[in-house]
Structures are given as C-alpha cells and as structure tokens.
Amino acid sequence: MSEAREGILKDVRAALGPRTGDARRAAAVEARIARHAPNLVPKRAQLDPAARLKLFVEMAEKAAATVARVPRLADVPAAVADFLAAQNLPARLRLASDPALEKLPWSERPLIKLERGPAQASDGASLTPAFAGIAETGTLMLLSGPAHPTTLNFLPDNHLVVLREAQIVGPYEEAWDRLRAAAAAKGWPRAVNLVTGPSRSADIEQQLYMGAHGPRRLHIILVAEGGDGQGQG
Amino acid sequence: MESTAASFKENAHQALNDATLQRAVSKLGFAAARAAAVARLPEFEELRAQGRAIKDHVLEHLDLYLERYEAEAKKRGAEVHWCRTPEEARAAVLAICRRLGAKTVTKGKSMIGEEIAINDYLEENGITPIETDLGEYIIQLRHEPPSHIIAPAIHLTKDQVADTFAANHKQYGKTRRLEEASEMLAEAREILRAKFVAADVGITGANFLIAETGSSVIVTNEGNGDLTQTLPKAHIVLATPEKVVPTLEDATTILRLLARSATGQEFSVYTTFSTGARRAEDLDGPSEYHVVILDNGRTALLGSEFRDILRCIKCGACINHCPVYSSIGGHAYGWVYPGPMGSVLTPAIIGIEAAGDLPNASTFCGRCESVCPMQIPLPKLLRHWREREFERHLSPRSFRLGLRLWAQLALRPSAYRLATRLAAAALGTLGRRRGAFRSLPLAGGWTGGRDFPTPEGATFHALWARARGGRVR
C-alpha cells in the first residue's frame, strides 16, 4: 500500500508547509535520535546504591510483588522451595534455560521437578532471570531470548524472578543505557517487558483483584552477591 | 463503529434517567487516585511541560520521524502497512488473517480497533475476534461499545456482569451465577486462557511507536496484551501516525505521566516494547509482526487549529475529571471516544455534521485542560468546533438568533450596561418577595430544573467599578 504511504507523507508535508524543504530538520531529527539524551529524571531515582536498593524493594512491594533477599546465587533453589511451600504449590518449576540459573545447585532440591522450554498454559510457576531492576517504581526489565522465553513471564500463575543487587539502577534511563550496550553485541531483543508487580484488573466496579491474565504472584529473589550488573542472568 | 453522536441530547437525557448507569458513574474514583499520585512526584508539572514539548517536536517533524520509524522497524523484521481509511486498514488486517488461515483472533484493547470496527468486520468474514481485556471482554459479550477509553465497562455494575457471565458461560459448563468480582475475574481468566492458546493472530494497539528502535509499545495491567501478542503466529499492531516518539528516553518521559494521569498508579504493571518478529533462535513469540499505520483524519488535523489534540496519549484524565461525563457516562457521546478529548476528536474523524452537539457537551469549567498531561487546551478546541458549527449553520435557528442579538448588544458597551442594569432592576423588583423565580420567559432551560435567584442590587460591572474606586468606563 505504498500509494497510501506516499499520500500520508505528502499530506503531512503539506500540513507542515514550506519549511519541510529545510535540510536542517532532518539533521535535527538524526541528532536527537543519535544523542537519545535523557529528559528530566526525577530526584527520587537519583540515589546511591544502598538507597537505590531500599527504594527498589519498597516500590516493588507497594506494587504487590514480594521480595526475598538471599546472600548468594547458590541460595536461589532454597528460596524457590520456600516460596512454593509457603504458597502450597506443587514442586514443579518452568526454568528459563539461562546459564546462570542452570548452574545453580538444583540437585540439593531433588523434589523440585524442573521443566524447560516455553511456558504451557497450565504451568504453576516459572523462574526467570531479569536484565535490570528499576528502583524508581520497583520495575523489572525482562528481555526475550532463547534463554528466557517471554511466555515464562506471563502464562504461569506464579512468576519468580532472580535479580542481582548490582542489576538495580535508579531511573529507567540507566536501564536503557545498559540495554543499548548489551544489544550492541547480541542485537535488539524482540520483546522488552517492564513488569511492575503481578497482573491485576479493576474492570468490575473498579475493585482491584490480582491475577487477571498474567501471574497472580510476582516473587523477586534478590541476590546480594556480585556480578558486573551487565547482561541478563 | 456506527455513530449515535448526532442524537447526543437525547442520549444524555436517557443516561440521566438510567438509575443503574447513575449508580455506576457515581463510583468514579480515578480523580482522587490521580491527585495522590501527582502529589508523590514533585517534578510532575515539569514533566508535563517536557512531554508536551516532545509531542510538539514530533508533530513539527512528523514526516521524518515516520520515515525513520518505518526504516528501523523494517530493519528489525516488521512489516509496515500504511492506510488512509478504515476500509484500507480493515482490508490489511483481513489479508494477513486470510493468508494465515486464521479462525480466531485475540485482541488487546485498541481504540483504533474500535474506530475501524475491526471486530464486526472480521466476524462478517468468518473470523472470530475475542477481546481479552476484562472490560472489553464483558462488553463484547453484551454487544456494547466501550464507555471509557481505559475502563471500557465502567458503566456496568457487578450484578450486570454476573448476569452477562451467567448467560454466556453456560456453553463452557459454568452454570452457577457468580456473586463476587474475584470469582468473575477467575472465570474469565480460565475461559480466555484457552482462547489465547488457540488464537492464530493477535491484535493490539500501540501507546507509542519509537523511531530510534522501530518498536511499538503497549501498556496494560492485566497482561492480556502480552499473551495476545506472544502466543499466536502473527502480531498485528494498530496505530496512528502521531504515536511516534523519537527515543526510548522520550517514551519514558511520557510513560512517567501516563499511568499517574490515568489510574493514579506509579507505573502500569506491564509496559512492553515489541520489536520485530521472533528471532531464529527464540522459543516463543509471533513469527510475523505487522504494524498498521492508519491515518483516518490525523494528518488533516496537523495543518488545522486542532493540531494540539494530536498530542493526546489517551490516558482518560480529561474524561475522569469531566462533570458532564460523570453525569452521563460514555455511551451518550455516541462514538468511540467520550468526554472532552472525544468531543474534540470525534467531529474531526466522523465530521462535524455527524457529531451533533458534542462540542456543546461541556461547561468549559477547564478541569480537563488542568489535568491533561499533554497540556491540550481542550476548552479552546471545543470552542473552535462551536465556531465551525455556527459558521456552517449547524446550530439551531433560535440559538443562532439569540447569539446574534447578544453579540449586537455586547459590541455596544454602553447599551449593554444599560440593558443589564434595567434587567437586573426589573427582576430585582419583581422577584423581591419570593427571592427567586419559578419560571421566566426565555429561561425555561434553567427554570425547568431549578429556581432562578432574584438579582440583588447592582450589576457585576457596577460592583467592579465601585470596588476599584473608579467608574465604569
């Protein structure tokens, strides 16, 4: 439908008038995109690492996520087992095939049945890595990819996410910069999901209930131990 | 969608006398939630100014940003379909569905989808559309249009939803009439779960198109839009040209305004940036990713006095704060977009002749403009439509005559002051005993619903002059 394309663009130029002939417009547009400068970043998000961490947890919990803090990555399987037990869930987990998650000492928790691949409609719980945590609103940044399929973020009733403290940034803008750096090598992901708390709806008389179509519960396992904060998982 | 905007007055009267609707609209709670969210973010006003500047900059360079967006989107695997009219957009969507042999299509909430009545069209062509946003799902079952752009079923009570589900869910073996909203949510979730998995194509709208990355963005709280776009073979995005923004940072700035203005949330639960189809190594995601860019009157607004409405991010704040909307709900407006933004946009898209009294459906109290995150001067734009109605002789003859007489008077200050002084004095004398009039000639519209108070003392002009210690000039 290139006729429509030309027609729309022609109408836009006609509406904007003769200034569309000015080459400086194109230069301004290119420069703005190349610079991708942040606009105003709220003070709330400009924090030192300790305050950032505190704000992230506070905001995530306000958005009805739960947060469990563990010292080491190796503690994740135990934290998963605790969550499943506390929620009275079967010991089954859809695990993202992320190298860091695969390396965890799952053999210490032989009762948890691990499944891999994209999520199924009947899945009870999934565990995925996060790319970043955004303190400003307690938001997770999750990327699509073979090691972390998007369906794991949406189909299971319970979504568990591993986030390292070093992955927490203040404002969204810092997460975008980290993503640009990561994507330069790996390519831009098909889906970037910013997730703030579990799924909900208030479409019936404005009463809020959790678990509309996505997960009823979002459980963040926050790991203190190192890492460079770059890359998912 | 068929419009009943031309019979707005009649619609409004019916709405005011509809007890169930009145019960539903009396519960509108968005305004208080917005105020609280804004109070928590000291920079909100500055963000508004920046958001507005971003949109103004884009509109001023719209041709270039559209070209850049398209180039980036294509580079990353998108197919972009440009459409001028609803007919073209419907045909583009149907062609994709046909080629894929689609039987069912899941849908995330899309106002453009409503604009082009895509559901009816797909159905006519043997394809079953399934709305997945809970509110949209409910009204689809009831064969009703949405009554609010972010809360489409806000005109319904819980009991009505319970009846709707009881009538429609029998076919799935659900025979019990539900009492609690939480049960209704769970039942809809269960039924729609199977639809998500079975769908061949998923259609969503777009809150933004990003020129930098060629991405489309949707914002939801339910996660329905994500299941809609991730599970089927193809994802179709319905968007309009003015949705484009330059960079991720620019989208971020507007996102900081969007949820706070809409529902009073700090951020919506799911904000998803989609870029192209699934990659070769991906385990899930749609194999095809299409973006339909529908103009449907937008470029015509760009060169008009209505350009400011193109900044609209469809948050619904103006609707939530409108005293007219809060009295009559959304259906009375008769087309896709209700409230102040709708009264500006509807005449632009379906024509002022068909939009009837919508530009007059405002008290000009100005709350809409004061809460609009994009600082759109809605009352001013409504006034432009009123001017056009007047110019085109669309307003009633008595109204036009009255306005002419008043204009004659208002153009002659001394005559105006004399007339108002005489009128105030005469009414003051006549009504002194009762303090109010039950009826007055030419003022039946007022006295039909309430008494008209008796003027006391001097006119405003005279009082003003006295207060200033000067005289009326």
List chain B residues with CB under 8 Å of A196. 266-271
Residue B160, chain A, CB below 8 Å: the answer is no
List chain B residues with CB under 8 Å of A214. 222-224, 226-227, 269-270
> What is the Cα–Cα distance from B33 to B26, expressed in whole angstroms?
15
State the pLDDT confidence band at B282, using cuts at 50, 70 and 90.
very high
Distance from CA of A47 to the nearest CA of B (A): 16
Distance from CA of B268 to the nearest CA of A (A): 7
Nearest CA in chain A to B30: A206
Residue B226, chain A, CB below 8 Å: the answer is yes
> What is the Cα–Cα distance from B276 to A190, expressed in whole angstroms?
6
In tens, the pLDDT along B215-255 reads 999 999 999 999 999 999 999 999 999 999 999 999 999 99
In tens, the pLDDT along B55-101 reads 999 999 999 999 999 999 999 999 999 999 999 999 999 999 999 99
With b for 16 or more beta-carbon neighbours within 10 A and e for fewer, the B246-279 pattern comes to: bbbbbbbbbbbbbbbbbbbbbbbbbbbbbbbbbb
Nearest to B269 among A43, A149, A197 (CB): A197
Between these two residues, B70 and B464, which has the higher pLDDT value? B70
Contact B64 A26 (CB under 8 A): yes
Nearest to B223 among A43, A117, A199 (CB): A199
List chain A residues with CB under 8 Å of B250. 39
* Helix (H/G/I), strand (E/B), else coil: B110: coil
> What is the Cα–Cα distance from A83 to B178, expressed in whole angstroms?
31
> What is the Cα–Cα distance from A212 to A177, expressed in whole angstroms?
32
In chain B, what are the helix, strand and coil shares in percent, each to the nearest 5? 55, 10, 35
Between these two residues, B314 and B404, which has the higher pLDDT value? B314
Do B24 and B342 contact (CB within 8 A), yes or no?
Answer: no
ipTM: 0.96
What percent of chain B stands above pLDDT 90?
A: 81
Please enumerate in sequence order all residues whose Cβ is within 8 A of that of A122, keeping only pairs 6 or more positions apart, or say none: none
Contact A212 B189 (CB under 8 A): yes
Tell whether the model's pLDDT for residue B399 goes beyond 60: yes
Contact A205 B24 (CB under 8 A): yes
**Where in chain A are all domains bearing CATH 3.40.50.10420?**
44-223
Q: Cα B384 to the chain's mean position, in Å?
A: 19
Nearest CA in chain B to A211: B222
Contact B196 A213 (CB under 8 A): yes
List chain A residues with CB under 8 Å of B267. 63, 137, 139, 194, 196
Do B226 and B273 contact (CB within 8 A), yes or no?
Answer: no
List chain B residues with CB under 8 Å of A45. none
Tell me what pLDDT residue B472 has.
Answer: 52
Interface test with B, best of A205, A207, A210, A218 (most B CBs within 10 A): A205
φ, ψ at B346 (rounded to 5°):
-60, -50
Tell whether the model's pLDDT for residue B395 goes beyond 90: no
Tell me what pLDDT residue B391 has.
Answer: 87
> What is the Cα–Cα distance from B303 to A11, expressed in whole angstroms?
9
Tell me what pLDDT residue A229 has.
Answer: 43
Tell me what pLDDT residue B323 has.
Answer: 96
Helices (H) and strands (E) in chain A, counts: 7, 12
Beta strands A191-195 and A139-143 are: antiparallel
- Residue in the structure block whose two tokens are 């008209």: B452
Residue B66, chain A, CB below 8 Å: the answer is yes
Nearest CA in chain B to A15: B303
Nearest to B84 among A7, A17, A215 (CB): A7
Between these two residues, B344 and A226, which has the higher pLDDT value? B344
Nearest to A29 among B41, B46, B65 (CB): B65
CB pairs under 8 A between A and B: 263
> What is the Cα–Cα distance from B265 to B83, expressed in whole angstroms?
34
φ, ψ at A128 (rounded to 5°):
-130, 155
Contact A199 B82 (CB under 8 A): no
Tell me what pLDDT residue B311 has.
Answer: 98
Nearest to B227 among A39, A209, A213 (CB): A213
What are the mean pLDDT values of chain A's consecutive 10-residue runs (233 residues total)?
Answer: 90 94 93 97 96 98 98 97 97 96 96 96 96 98 97 98 98 98 95 98 93 96 73 44
Amino acid code (one letter) for B299: T
Nearest to B213 among A188, A195, A209 (CB): A188
Copy the structure tokens of residue B255.
Answer: 């996102």
Contact A214 B82 (CB under 8 A): no
Topology, domain A44-223: Rossmann fold (3.40.50)
Query: Helices (DSSP H) in B76-223: which residue ranges?
Result: 86-99, 111-115, 118-124, 134-141, 158-168, 181-198
Domains of chain B as residue ranges with CATH: 5-156+200-298 (3.40.50.10420), 413-467 (no CATH)
In tens, the pLDDT along B10-65 reads 999 999 999 999 998 888 889 999 999 999 999 999 999 999 999 999 999 999 99
φ, ψ at B286 (rounded to 5°):
-70, 145
> What is the Cα–Cα distance from A191 to B217, expressed in whole angstroms?
10
List chain A residues with CB under 8 Å of B249. 36-39, 173, 176
Mean of pLDDT over chain B: 94
Contact A62 B266 (CB under 8 A): yes
Tell whether the model's pLDDT for residue B384 goes beyond 60: yes
List chain A residues with CB under 8 Å of B252. 39, 172-173, 176
> What is the Cα–Cα distance from B301 to B310, expressed in whole angstroms?
8
In tens, the pLDDT along B158-188 reads 999 999 999 999 999 999 999 999 999 999 9
In tens, the pLDDT along B402-441 reads 888 889 999 999 999 898 889 888 888 888 888 888 888 8
Distance from CA of B65 to the nearest CA of A (A): 7
Nearest to A144 among B42, B268, B285 (CB): B285
| C-alpha pair distances (Å), B75 with each of A28, A190, B276 | 22, 12, 8
Tell me what pLDDT residue B458 has.
Answer: 84
Contact B185 A212 (CB under 8 A): yes
Contact B196 A14 (CB under 8 A): no
Distance from CA of B68 to the nearest CA of A (A): 9
Interface of B with A in 403-432 (CB under 8 A): none
Tell me what pLDDT residue B168 has.
Answer: 97
List chain B residues with CB under 8 Å of A36. 212, 246-249
